[in-house]
Amino acid sequence: MSNHGQSRRRFLTTCAALGLAGWHLGRAAAGDDKGQEVTLKDVKYPDLVAALKAQRDRVVVLDVWATYCVPCKKEFPHLVELHHQYVKDGLTCISVSVDETDQREAALKFLKAQKATFPNFLLNEEAAVWQEKWDLKSIPAVFVFGRDGKVAARFDNDDEAKPPFTYEEVEKKVKELLAVKPAKP
């Protein structure tokens, strides 16, 4: 296959993937996740950024986790609770697993056990990519985006002098951001 053919196929695959992610994100945004299947979509970093940009006018909580991370798995049920409590108010929760791709099934099994019916992505990148892009040394990490699409808060445990973050802090920020209604066009 020519380079042009390969590029075209990659482009069409990415468009299809983003279309499916948009549909899934739209259902979660509407609060329509009852009976919805728990899924885990493999993505590259640019695809994840596109999925985030599709959430303009919504508050987004992006939780970065992995199956090997005990604190991540301990805090994850709080993300699910946050989703159920605030999805109808304009919150979108997104989980991003940074597991190796060979751990995909273990990650999906965990997500199903948690009933994580919101968008779940497996970031198919080397650790150095997400560590550099997000300026992270460790996980868990949570990013909260305002309705304008900009990072409004970041919660991580990179500073050993500070106590670990809690989802109470995340929820406080979410409530603050949800109180600001979207701007009228």
pLDDT in tens, 131-145: 999 999 999 999 999
| Predicted pLDDT of residue 13 | 37
Q: How far apart are CA 105 and CA 69, in angstroms?
A: 16
| Predicted pLDDT of residue 2 | 42
- Average pLDDT score over the chain: 85
Q: Cβ contacts of residue 156 below 8 Å, gap of 6+?
A: 136, 137, 138, 139, 140, 141, 142, 165
Percent of all residues in the chain with a pLDDT value above 70, rounded to a whole number = 80
- 80 — pLDDT class (breaks 50, 70, 90): very high
CATH code that applies to domain 3-178:
3.40.30.10
Centroid of chain to Cα 120: 6
Asked if residue 181 has pLDDT above 60, the reply is yes
